[in-house]
Structure 1
Amino acid sequence: MVNVAGLLELNQKKDAQKNALTWGSSQVTYGELFEAVLRMAAGLKEMGIKKGDRVLLMLPNIPHFPISYYAVLAVGAVVVPVNIMFKEREIAYQIEDSEAVAAIAWEGFTNDLLKAREKTESLKHLLVLGDNIPDDAIHLTRFISQHQPSKGIDEVEPEDSAVIMYTAGITGHPKGAELSHNGLSYAIKVIAETLRLTDRERVLAVVPFFHSFGGVVVMNAGLYGGATLTLAPRFNPQEALEIIANDKITVFAGVPTMFQMIHDYPEYGDYDLSSLKYCLSGGSHLSEELLRRFEERFNTYVLEGYGLTETCAAAAFNNFKRERKPGSIGYPLEGVEMKVVDDADQDISIGEIGEIVIKGPSLMKGYRNRPQASSEVMRNGWFHTGDIGRMDMDGYFYLVDRKTDLILKGGFKVFPQEIEEVIAAHPQVAEVAVIGIHDQVMGEEIKACIVPKEGTRVNPAALLEYCHERLANYKCPAILRFYRELPKGPTGRVMKKELRLHN
């Protein structure tokens, strides 16, 4: 079956009584999960949600995320995951760009969602999980329970969009990468098979499902493989250690920041982690030193991989089929081609440094409403990642740098221009440049270099509060530095390289 939601049906038929999800003391079997999906799908159809409609999903890692995700897909509609840390301005942008007709959210996120809806025109329906829901919203739990299951999953065309996942991409504002049912299904299957995510595994699902790593590698591939996912709505090193020990977790998937925080937790020795077979690292580069120290401390095995939203999170992974090379991002997955090219898009020799480009069945269709941006990164069938790297003689790839100023903080992509626009609008700011600086825990932290307007004095605390009102917390600067002037080149462009050198 082409529809991604059909991947769930396979395990429901195989073993309906097996636990698909655990959350605290609650369990959801594969049979119960699939029934809830069909009930919700019936309700969505009755509501008027049809093939091709976009539906926002703003939920943490709780059972209602996969239920809603697969229900939307089951009726042929398109899932638009929203970062749960987003504020009004960021949500409004995604609603407007995707032209979403409905939103499914947890009650704690509705204040910003309602404000965002007032600034847009397309959003007609709001389903909310919780007890305190807006007057014009539909109670999600009741909505699911009051409908009889639909007869099955709607058919879709292979190239129909399944998910629009917003990413900073290589340049500019966040762009909606349109992922097809065919591309996403391929990625899910090859990831599950390569990483051995089978019905024997118990996976700690703490990487957010709205993130491509969490949504594709953990949720989709995990459920396709028949694993049991233990859901954690937020990451805390102590809670993660407790869950691994108590639930006998066999696979932990996390971004490097999580590995660092677990490694550094003082009472790590109080927890029995002997059940842990292996760990998966993605989202940003895991240093060889941290990988080595983590493996030694917890007597486990860490596999690092590489993928982007635009590739359905599937590109390369160190895996069980080949020799692992610490420090590398691994070997291309089955069906995926990767190479390194120069600025003229010409192949370069083994070991030389250039841009990593990718070809394969899991590539995005393109950026929604951005034909020019799509053509800039998709050339001659190859996706240009903007990542600088090299390939060794065995075909393994290594990341060296990035072409852009994109900041990778705790596994999230942060585009400096978005932050600069917010800070530049402050009445006391004349100029601003935002850069990423190395941080041992987060990978990179955000630093704002600011020139105040003449005759004014910027209050740092007030400026940070101003940022937090307009940006997701992880996008807000951790460091503010004030300058009389910023270094500039002959064209007047701020020389961020100089700012980094004098960090």
Structure 2
Amino acid sequence: MNLSTQLHETAAKFTSKPAFIFMDHETSYAEFDHAVTQFADGLQSLGIKQGDNVALLLGNSPHFIIGLYGLFRLGATAIPVNPTYTPDEISYILKNGDVKAVITLDLLIPMFEKMDRMLPSIEHYIICPSEAVERPIPEDLLISGKMKSFTKIFALGSGTFIEPKTEDEDTAIILYTSGTTGKPKGAMLSYRNLYSNARDVADYLGINENDRVITVLPMFHVFCLTVSLNAPLLNGGTLVIIPKFSPKDVFHAAKKYEITLFAGVPTMFNYLLQYPEGNTEDFRSLRFCISGGSAMPVALLKNFEEKFNVIVSEGYGLSEASPVTCFNPIDRPRKPGSIGKSIIHVENKVVNELGEEVPAGQVGELIVKGPNVMKGYYKLPEETAAAIKDGWLYTGDLARMDDEGYFYIVDRKKDMVIVGGFNVYPREVEEVLFAHPDIAEVAVIGAPDPNLGEVIRCFVVSKKPSLTEEEVIDYCKERLAKYKVPKSIDFMEELPKNTTGKILRRALKNAVLQQS
């Protein structure tokens, strides 16, 4: 069930067909399969072996796909990381993930030069160009012997690599997701998890060799990994890779390559809808669109479908489930506001606090079971036991199911905020703000936003009356990824609390909702 092994079969069947297109350059399945083998062999020549953990800090590019599948072919474990994270966030994941090598962008060389002493387990930095022309690595970094170009590692491979045998339950990838304690947790996904979810999503949505998919969601994000990358490649489809989302580029690619499938978060659909030069004709080849990452407003869904005459199938997933568990069917009636029905081989149900299934229409916690459910959290046995009980993954999301088997997310059991499709936990931001010398108390919530779905809003009790909103936001910018930075700061004399002294985030959120 190793996706990289499966690639051999796909390449044999679709030898000359483009596997992906990047910057108007086509790479066939045969070329892709050969490149994966050669890169795996190059990694092995560095001493990277089966079971080693290797991080990928890359944007959307052939380097990411070849690197990912090369690691699968080698039997090493891939750890995709958002390259826009701050040094502290990246450092934590690399240390906690016992990373031996990093495949990263040349733009991040200065950061790793400063961080290297704090990362003793890392033996190699494999540098990829951030532009079309590869830039040389500075000589002072080459002296360390740790930094090598992707091209040189690729050249080390002979193409005669002998693949090690991988087991279905071996860990293929570790996806770090924010934890309620403020520290990210690494969800371990096996080869079976990744393969089964790619297969089942493709079967449910009918993704096949005739599909041309815009791959513009971040490849380091699990939504893209399964829906816009693994599922199409598993079935002989073609990826049209866009490095960074822009409505102009999406419309251009859709028309030029007669795109049949687009997957995005609601924010992207909103920008496409509002783009003045958006042409309905550019989307005429689309079979359907997929929305995930956060709930899509019903009005946005209807307006998008009406303007572009295309179906939008909304679904649900989480990193711990590889990620997809539900989708609205594309061949049967869809229900706006619903996350759809269980996909093939995956079971969803709504339960009470005792784990008992509740009747249709009643609210409870959504739990999931299937071959897509993670092995557990890396080095966190207690958190794993709390999340997976009797084979069921407890999502922490409150939901209800109607009498036709359609599920609806009602609320999040945990106080997670989704900013443009990215998960942010309030505690993570609060931990940063609590470290500020002039802040006494802080509470973080998600506030509605027409473009991003939600944004971070902070309520602060200051020790220093002169502390300004700008100072607090600048403080956060230095320590948090861009999407985690608060949009606004509200200064208060005191925060609402219950009798035990616990801050009442719900009271703050209700107040914000009343204002909007």
TM-score (norm 1): 0.97
Match of 2:399 among 389, 408, 414: 389
Offset at 1:12? Answer: 0.8
In the alignment, the residues of structure 2 paired with residue 55 and residue 114 of structure 1 have an alpha-carbon distance, to the nearest angstrom, of 18
Aligned to 2:357: 347
Offset at 1:143? Answer: 1.8
C-alpha offsets along residues 333-354 of structure 1, whole Å, 9 cap, x if unaligned? 1111111001121111111111
In the alignment, the residues of structure 2 paired with residue 171 and residue 286 of structure 1 have an alpha-carbon distance, to the nearest angstrom, of 28
For residue 87 of structure 1, what is the amino acid of its counterpart? T
For residue 457 of structure 2, what is the amino acid of its counterpart? K
For residue 365 of structure 2, what is the amino acid of its counterpart? E
Q: Answer whether contact 2:469 2:488 (CA < 8 A) is retained.
A: no
In the alignment, the residues of structure 2 paired with residue 493 and residue 120 of structure 1 have an alpha-carbon distance, to the nearest angstrom, of 37
In the alignment, the residues of structure 1 paired with residue 181 and residue 333 of structure 2 have an alpha-carbon distance, to the nearest angstrom, of 35
TM-score (norm 2): 0.94
Q: Answer whether contact 2:4 2:70 (CA < 8 A) is retained.
A: yes
TM alignment of 1:288-367, pairs within 5 A: 288-320=298-330, 322-367=332-377
Match of 1:275 among 285, 291, 294: 285
SS at match of 2:217: coil
SS at match of 1:502: helix
Aligned to 2:202: 192
C-alpha offsets along residues 469-491 of structure 1, whole Å, 9 cap, x if unaligned? 11111110111111111111111
Aligned to 2:433: 423
For residue 101 of structure 2, what is the amino acid of its counterpart? A
Offset at 1:185? Answer: 1.1
Aligned to 1:464: 473
Q: How many residues align?
A: 501
Offset at 1:75? Answer: 0.9
SS at match of 1:103: strand
Offset at 1:6? Answer: 1.2
Match of 2:384 among 374, 392, 398: 374
Which of structure 1's runs of 4+ aligned residues deviate more than 4 A? 169-172
Aligned to 1:232: 242
In the alignment, the residues of structure 1 paired with residue 329 and residue 505 of structure 2 have an alpha-carbon distance, to the nearest angstrom, of 37
Q: Answer whether contact 1:241 1:271 (CA < 8 A) is retained.
A: no
Aligned to 2:47: 48
The structure-2 alpha-carbon separation of the partners of 1:378 and 1:171, relative to structure 1 and needing over 3 Å to count, comes to farther
SS at match of 2:11: helix
Q: Answer whether contact 2:180 2:425 (CA < 8 A) is retained.
A: no
C-alpha offsets along residues 373-400 of structure 1, whole Å, 9 cap, x if unaligned? 1111111211110111111111111111
Deviates more, 1:151-160 or 1:164-173: 164-173
SS at match of 1:500: helix
Aligned to 1:79: 78
Deviates more, 1:124-133 or 1:320-329: 320-329
Aligned to 1:447: 457
Offset at 1:271? Answer: 5.8
For residue 498 of structure 1, what is the amino acid of its counterpart? A
In the alignment, the residues of structure 2 paired with residue 384 and residue 171 of structure 1 have an alpha-carbon distance, to the nearest angstrom, of 17
In the alignment, the residues of structure 2 paired with residue 202 and residue 341 of structure 1 have an alpha-carbon distance, to the nearest angstrom, of 39
Offset at 1:320? Answer: 3.4
Aligned to 2:154: 144
SS at match of 1:241: helix
For residue 159 of structure 2, what is the amino acid of its counterpart? P
Match of 1:264 among 271, 274, 286: 274
Q: Answer whether contact 2:461 2:495 (CA < 8 A) is retained.
A: yes
The structure-2 alpha-carbon separation of the partners of 1:41 and 1:212, relative to structure 1 and needing over 3 Å to count, comes to same
In the alignment, the residues of structure 1 paired with residue 108 and residue 124 of structure 2 have an alpha-carbon distance, to the nearest angstrom, of 15
In the alignment, the residues of structure 1 paired with residue 118 and residue 427 of structure 2 have an alpha-carbon distance, to the nearest angstrom, of 22
For residue 411 of structure 1, what is the amino acid of its counterpart? G
Question: Which structure 1 segments of 5+ residues have no match?
Answer: none
SS at match of 1:427: coil
1:486 equivalent in alignment to 2:495: yes
Q: Answer whether contact 1:91 1:113 (CA < 8 A) is retained.
A: no
C-alpha offsets along residues 182-213 of structure 1, whole Å, 9 cap, x if unaligned? 12111111111211221111110001111110
SS at match of 2:506: helix
Q: Answer whether contact 2:314 2:338 (CA < 8 A) is retained.
A: yes
1:285 equivalent in alignment to 2:284: no
In the alignment, the residues of structure 2 paired with residue 109 and residue 65 of structure 1 have an alpha-carbon distance, to the nearest angstrom, of 15
